[in-house]
Amino acid sequence: MRALLVAALSLASGCSGNDASSSPEPSPPDASPVDAAPTYDVVSDRSVDAIADTARPDVHVEAGTYLFNLDAAPFPNTGHPDVAVHVPSGFDPLDRPGVIVFFHGFSNCVANVVGAVNTPCTSGGPARPALHLAEQLEAARVNALLVALQLRYDMRSGDVGQLAQPGQLRLLLSELLFGPLAPVLGYGLTVEQLDRVVVATHSGGYRAAAAVLQSGGVASLFEVDLYDSLYGEMATYDAWVLANLARFGPNRADGVRFTDVYTAGGGTAVYSRAMASRVAGWIGDAGLPWRDAALAVDDTTATLTDAQVAAPLLFKLTAVAHDDIPRVTFERFARAAGFSPAGAR
């Protein structure tokens, strides 16, 4: 494993597809410009060799946001951070730990995406929209790590890089959890110890999310959240829902979730409406009795309700602006994802 840069942020602070449709995919928007740069405090990189993998060690977790470089990253060796990880206050690596893997849209970078201040990714370039993910994870109070993966750095590109390789997400998480993140957690986690993994994507990150659904190699992947991000890859998203169809039934111990919040004019509505119709048909054809209890379809811009957030299958039109969707829904979906509460021990 290469030497890595570890930095802590203050807590305050799309492309080729396999679509079912033959129509061309619309392009996700570039990140809109907007305000100035975060500051970083250096954290010493301690050796993981001294961390014992025991049944219940006395762990000490250092909450905060960290930047790392990884060999298994989508695009390693670029000179930019490959991943931003937020460790929330009260996180316990031994109490059903979870992970939210987040894929950003076009023209952005992970250090900016997880933060609360719009900052340039490239020196002298325009400020990119911060999505307030770290602070929302703190507010959700769930025992889950946020792992934002860098795609093409500050570029309008849907390239997925190494994520196209089978098992790559599992390899990346293994390197991260038992490598550079272990000193922060006071414990070296394995992928098998994760209680659940959520894959979330905003805008042009939909191809990367589809890639890990196809062949990421993570068995504990329980949820997919699309924040105005269903621009294509319909065959992959359809296949994941169909493969897990019976598991969308309410109150299942192994239950899974799929959420899609979309806008009317950005290019995601036509795909979202068509997929919602297909899902309803699949449930009916399979004779599953829980359709009305599990499937929420709302093609109006009415406010997203708590009942809709809790639905295992959600397709929701919103009047919220494209970049604001994750800013106002990430916390709610994180809280509804079935993670253990933070600080429960």
Residue 332 has pLDDT above 50, yes or no: yes
Q: Which residues have C-beta within 8 Å of that of residue 197, sequence separation ≥ 6?
A: 98, 99, 100, 101, 173, 218, 220, 221, 222, 223
- Phi, psi at 259, each rounded to 5°: -125, 140
Tokens of 3: 């030497």
Residue 227 included in any domain:
yes
Residue 345 included in any domain:
no
Q: What is the mean pLDDT of the chain?
A: 88
Q: What is the CATH number of the domain that holds 154?
A: 3.40.50
Structural domain harbouring 229: 7-336
- The amino acid at residue 204 is G
Q: H helices of the chain, where? A: 110-113, 133-140, 168-178, 182-185, 206-215, 234-243, 269-285, 291-294, 306-310, 324-336
- The amino acid at residue 124 is G
Residue 11 included in any domain:
yes
pLDDT tens string 299-318: 999 999 999 999 999 999 99
Tokens of 261: 């919040």
- Give the angle 101-273-287 at the CA atoms, nearest 5°: 90
314 Rama class: left (phi>0) / alpha (psi -120 to 50) / beta: beta
Q: Which residues have C-beta within 8 Å of that of residue 275, sequence separation ≥ 6?
A: 230, 234, 237, 238, 260, 315
Entry pTM: 0.88
Residue 343 included in any domain:
no
CA distances in angstroms from 181 to 86, 145, 146, 308, listed in the order given: 10, 11, 12, 34
Residue 341 included in any domain:
no
pLDDT tens string 203-262: 999 999 999 999 999 999 999 999 999 999 999 999 999 999 999 999 899 999 999 999
Residue 328 has pLDDT above 80, yes or no: yes
pLDDT tens string 105-149: 999 999 999 999 999 999 999 999 999 999 999 999 999 999 999
**Number of domain units in the chain:** 1
Contact between 43 and 8 (Cβ < 8 Å): yes
Residue 239 included in any domain:
yes
Residue 344 included in any domain:
no
